[in-house]
A and B are shown apart, each in its own frame.
Chain A
Amino acid sequence: MDTIQSIKQLCDLMDTRQASSYEITSEYLARIRRIDKQLNSFVSLHEEAALRAARLADKNRACGRIKPLTGIPIGHKDVFCVKGERTSCCSRMLESFVAPYSATIVQNLEDAGAVSLGKTNMDEFAMGSSNETSIFGPARNPWNLDRVPGGSSGGSAAAVAACIAPACTGSDTGGSIRQPASFCGVTGFKPTYGVNSRFGMVAFASSLDHPGTLTRSVEDARIMFDAMSGQDLLDSTSSRAPASSNTSAATRMTLGYPTSLFSDLPFSITNALEEARKILEGQGNTIIEIDLPHFDNAVAAYYVISCAEASANLARYDGIRYGHRSMHGSTFDSLCEHSRSEGFGQEVKRRILTGTFVLSVGHYDAYYVKAQKVRRLIRDDYLRAFEKVDLILSPASPTTAFRLHALDREPTEMYKQDQFTVPVNMAGLPAMSIPCGFAEELPVGFQMIGPHFGESRLFSLGVQFQTLTDWHLKAPNVLA
């Protein structure tokens, strides 16, 4: 079996009986055992269950019961519950939590025939942009092991880039799919808010959390999206509006390009972005300048809102009903305090305390309500832009993958990593990060942003770009 295989190619192998799901799944498990000591991209493996599911998939194929993902092994970010398996969120708080049910998107993927390989590494509770806050240690970038894979879905991005999983799920609250996709040279996609169910995904900031995927191509992202998405009555914010992955949407589009936002970027990033722009222009797409006046306020407003929501969501970890329970504390309150202090890492504590501050008496209006007003201005900027354009282009990240520990003592510098992705979550828009080149031997990605429920436009333009380029076909030689 070739090293680099897309979901589509793996399906072809099974359709033509060149390989069974059992053989394919075994091969990926062997690759993980062989090289993941270097990457640390998986934090748990479901070997027995995966091989059992693969055998069942082979039986189903033999009987003609073939679904879009029958027999395809995939990894799940450790933020998603998989029934009977540990879901730790890479936190001591949930280190021994075994999920009694599966997340809806996990169930949807299994219903479409997917085989769960295991759980991938992430920043603790998805709070981070480098995958360094995981209790299992950082995942590493397969293009350069001294560099971070990005975060928080760093394990998923590293695993797909290194070809030790054909595709993985991820979650994106402020860029946690698109930034690691950019750092690792893979395709990262999150649909419109509410299109993928959040049920069974450990909550960080509920109005900003978007489940999505990391894949080797746009075509694979589309296959995963078709299987994952749909209204879910178990998620009260699940959308009833139909989202389409139809790639026959308009082939020539008007693309917005907010050049003024890119002035401070390193040449290597803007150069790759310019090349991508020229390729798209060459295909008959029209590029026009657009303005997003409140773009620069997004990261600050995002940190107020996301920390506020995190402080409320993480209040549930009391050490009593589930999660880490301290051996100390003789009263209910002190047991809670000890359990939470021992269970949460530093970044999580910082965000809970920040969120508690902005929600507290005397600060609520000045911070939380103010940030929500700024959020409306940001969303309205996009709505106005989409009156003129079909999609918006931008970088996915202001840098390529940085060195491990480079931003350890710079929490706000780390937050700025998400400057191009955060505004999209504030507006709940669908977006995709696609590899578009290299800078100093590290991948660079560009981002396409769509209007609400404009997934089909993203898939159309993404497929168009990947038909003309081969950046997505490159892989690091970590398997060699």
Chain B
Amino acid sequence: MDDATLARLGHLSRILLKDEEQAALLQDLRTILRFVDEIKSVPTKDVEPLAHPLDTVQALRNDSVIDDIERDKYQQVASQTVDGFYVVPKVIDS
């Protein structure tokens, strides 16, 4: 874990890291990785990864058409909308 890795992680996770917080974050991430590194010593040959604690089949809803598109209601929580569209900075160069 170094400055370049931290900068890359900041970019991947879209978190702007201020100069004044970088040193402390780098130190924290090093400590956390040292802490979690212990799992590498656990023998796991032939062990299948477990993604879900229960051996169950995912429940599915009926594949039917429902009339439940309440755009106005769900866009009320957005900061900026116009005519049902979300407003974002310009993404296409003219």
Contact = CB atoms under 8 A, between A and B. Distances in A.
Interface of A: 97-98, 100, 192-194, 207, 231, 233, 236-241, 294, 297, 300-301, 303-304, 311, 315, 318-322, 325, 329-338, 340-341, 344, 346, 349-350, 352-354, 356-358, 360, 366-367, 369-377, 379, 411-412, 415, 426-429, 452
B76 interface: yes
B42 to A, nearest CB: 5
A335 B29 contact: no
A250 to B, nearest CB: 23
A360 B39 CA distance: 18
A338 to B, nearest CB: 6
20 contacts: A237-B52, A241-B56, A297-B38, A300-B38, A304-B39, A320-B79, A321-B77, A334-B89, A340-B16, A349-B25, A353-B29, A358-B36, A360-B12, A370-B44, A371-B39, A376-B50, A377-B42, A411-B31, A412-B31, A452-B54
Contacts of B90: 331
Contacts of B53: 193, 207, 379, 426-429, 452
Nearest to A298: B39
Tell me the dominant secondary structure on chain A's binding face: helix
A336 B14 contact: yes
Given A370-B44, A415-B35, 15 more contacts: A98-B76, A294-B42, A300-B37, A304-B36, A330-B89, A332-B88, A340-B15, A341-B15, A350-B29, A353-B9, A356-B12, A374-B39, A376-B49, A379-B53, A426-B53
Interface string B47-64: 111111110101111000
Contacts of A377: 42, 44, 47
Interface of B: 1, 5-6, 8-10, 12-18, 21, 25, 28-29, 31-33, 35-40, 42, 44, 47-54, 56, 58-61, 73-74, 76-80, 86, 88-91
Contacts of B48: 373, 376
The 7 lowest CB-CB distance pairs between A and B, nearest first, are: A428-B53, A372-B49, A376-B50, A325-B79, A373-B44, A341-B16, A322-B77
A166 to B, nearest CB: 31
A357 B33 contact: yes
A353 B13 contact: yes
Contacts of A358: 36
Contact of A320 (B1, B42, B78): B78
Contacts of A318: 14
